[in-house]
Amino acid sequence: YLDKIHTFNNHLGAFLQVADREKLLSLADESDARWQKKQNKSALDGIPIAIKDNIHVHGLKTTCASRLLHNYSPPYEATCVEKLREAGAIFIGKTNLDEFAMGSTTENSATQQTHNPWDINKVAGGSSGGSAVAVSAGMSPLALGSDTGGSVRQPASFCGIVGLKPTYGYVSRYGLVAYASSLDQVGPMARDVYGATQLLNAIGGFDERDSTSIRSAPVALEALQRNIAGKKIAILGEISNYINPHVAKVFEQSIESLRSLGAEVTEVEFPFFDYVVAAYYLIATAEASSNLARYDGVKYGQREERKTYQEMLTATRSQGFGKEVKKRILLGNFVLSSGYYDAYYLKAQKMRRRICHLLNNILHSYDAIVTPTTPNTAFTKGESEQDFMKVYVADVTTVIANLTGLPAVSIPCGMVENLPVGLQIIGGALQEQQILNIAYQFE
Ligand code: GLN
């Protein structure tokens, strides 16, 4: 894997930081010895894992691809990383992202550009674009991403790999740099469903250091083998109005495949597509504006020295944050300000509640809901800069899982003009096993 990074990373820009070669090799040797003595700590013992650079790993920097944190070394490790370390996994490096995970293309990174391995002129997706490319191009067998509004699933879809956002609370957020706390989840990225499941099992579970953490059982690997005949799968009515016709065609073929596996696929009503993106961006930016208030030049990262505190604070934030982050802080402050709170933030919360209610109702009668992961294949470079609304609106399919806290997996399901298309399977709360079983059988 180190050789592949050496060969490809200059062209693809997936890794921001690669761990020390000698250290990695000695960890690999230690793991080899454990396997030989059959004293390996887990199935992941000795397996390299790439970590999105907004998750703290002991001994590596966490930059969030921001100027503000370009030299920041975290004093502690994320719970999910700690668990992987105990399982014997090896952290091969930190991967590129949109600054503070805000974006859908990884073009908002202050550090470098990441390119889609299927077509260099296309984006990798985002915000976990670096992790997706690392796995897609074979630079790491597994990776962690974070998903606040699709950031694991959308780049997985654009790069032709598997990505899962677990149920909110399934994976501890301790040590994940907060973007929008009520939506954030860490998720596994892998070449196949089996790998994603193994990684999920290693990072999941209760953690008292995250107040929203929940108790959950790991996914039984044998359960992936179960036949899915008779499973009830819903598709959301009117979705075809929101997706590109070529993607729609691949989606229809996927539905046929599910049917041929014996699943019953039925359309159900979902009248909220016009509201999900608006609700998501209002809530996400509101929470982001609050979370990012901590970067004041005192507690973390880069400080721009000035005569007064106020000047220092202003200069630190003005120079430290990129354009997209500033836009979102402004929008978040706006929707939370008195006079606008009721008109925007509160309405978004009400809409979130209605979406939750409806999706949970659907999932009382169905085993899963399927959608294309994204309305289109990977964007062309620069599209986001030209028309950011177009890129925001393309989150329509993924954000429903974050607003509701439900688990959702993206798996490759076909190609349009040589670019991968993803199928998203959404399940009821804590039904990871259900959606991974369907995904495994589909794959
Ligand atoms: N496109 C979403 C956004 O820009 C993705 C964010 C995420 O999941 N981190 O907010």
Q: What is the pLDDT of residue 371?
A: 98
Q: What is the pLDDT of residue 262?
A: 98
Domain boundary among 188, 208, 223: 223
Is 383 inside any structural domain? Answer: yes
In this structure, what token pair is assigned to residue 360?
């949970």
Residue 151 is a catalytic residue: yes
Instruction: Check the CA dihedral 216-220-221-223 and report its sign.
Output: negative
Beta strands 48-52; 142-147: pairing state = parallel
Domain boundary among 190, 223, 256: 223
Same domain, yes or no: 189 and 260: no
Q: How far apart are CA 394 and CA 178, in angstroms?
A: 23
Q: How far is CA 301 from the centre of its chain?
A: 24
What Å distances lie between residue 149 and 45, 365, 401, 405, CA to CA? 31, 25, 8, 11
Q: How far is the CA of 226 from the centre of ligand 1 (A)?
A: 33
Domain boundary among 169, 200, 223: 223
Same domain, yes or no: 178 and 263: no
Q: How far apart are CA 140 and CA 416, in angstroms?
A: 25
Q: How far apart are CA 63 and CA 68, in angstroms?
A: 8
Same domain, yes or no: 87 and 162: yes
Residue 395 near ligand 1, beta carbon < 6 Å: yes
Residue 163 near residue 144 (C-beta atoms within 8 A): no
Q: How far apart are CA 406 and CA 183, in angstroms?
A: 10
Is 440 inside any structural domain? Answer: no
Centre a 10 Å sphere on the Cβ of residue 223 and count the other Cβ atoms it contains: 13
Residue 290 is a catalytic residue: no
Same domain, yes or no: 201 and 341: no
Q: CATH number of the domain at 330, please.
A: 3.90.1300.10
Average per-residue pLDDT for the chain: 97
Residue 366 near ligand 1, beta carbon < 6 Å: no
Q: The complex's ipTM?
A: 0.98
Q: What is the pLDDT of residue 41?
A: 98
Is 442 inside any structural domain? Answer: no
Instruction: Check the CA dihedral 434-221-94-154 and report its sign.
Output: negative
Per-residue pLDDT of the chain (443 residues; tens, 9 = 90+): 999 999 999 999 999 999 999 999 999 999 999 999 999 999 999 999 999 999 999 999 999 999 999 999 999 999 999 999 999 999 999 999 999 999 999 999 999 999 999 999 999 999 999 999 999 999 999 999 999 999 999 999 999 999 999 999 999 999 999 999 999 999 999 999 999 999 999 999 999 999 999 999 999 999 999 999 999 999 999 999 999 999 999 999 999 999 999 999 999 999 999 999 999 999 999 999 999 999 999 988 889 999 999 999 999 999 999 999 999 999 999 999 999 999 999 999 999 999 999 999 999 999 999 999 999 999 999 999 999 999 999 999 999 999 999 999 999 999 999 999 999 999 999 999 999 999 999 99
Same domain, yes or no: 192 and 307: no
Same domain, yes or no: 100 and 63: yes
The one catalytic residue among 31, 66, 104, 127 = 127
Read off the pLDDT of residues 295-327 as tens digits, 9 standing for 90 and up: 999 988 889 999 999 999 999 999 999 999 999
Same domain, yes or no: 233 and 213: no
Same domain, yes or no: 211 and 283: no
| 26: exposed, middle or buried (Cβ count in 10 Å: 0-12, 13-18, 19+) | exposed
What Å distances lie between residue 389 and 125, 278, 343, CA to CA? 15, 11, 21
Same domain, yes or no: 328 and 210: no
Residue 151 near ligand 1, beta carbon < 6 Å: yes
Read off the pLDDT of residues 267-300 as tens digits, 9 standing for 90 and up: 999 999 999 999 999 999 999 999 999 999 998 8
Is 236 inside any structural domain? Answer: yes
The one catalytic residue among 31, 52, 66, 136 = 52
Beta strands 48-52; 90-95: pairing state = parallel
Residue 52 is a catalytic residue: yes
Q: How far apart are CA 66 and CA 108, in angstroms?
A: 9
Residue 367 near ligand 1, beta carbon < 6 Å: no
Q: How far apart are CA 441 and CA 203, in angstroms?
A: 23
Is 335 inside any structural domain? Answer: yes
Say which residues have a Cβ less than 8 Å from residue 388's Cβ, sequence separation at least 6: none
Ligand 1, pocket-test mutation among 53, 98, 402, most atoms within 8 A of CB? 98
- How many domains does the chain contain in total? 2
Q: What is the pLDDT of residue 300?
A: 84
Q: What is the pLDDT of residue 299?
A: 87
Residue 54 near ligand 1, beta carbon < 6 Å: no
Centre a 10 Å sphere on the Cβ of residue 58 and count the other Cβ atoms it contains: 15
Domain that holds residue 117: 2-223
Q: What is the pLDDT of residue 183?
A: 98
Residue 154 near residue 189 (C-beta atoms within 8 A): no
Same domain, yes or no: 167 and 230: no
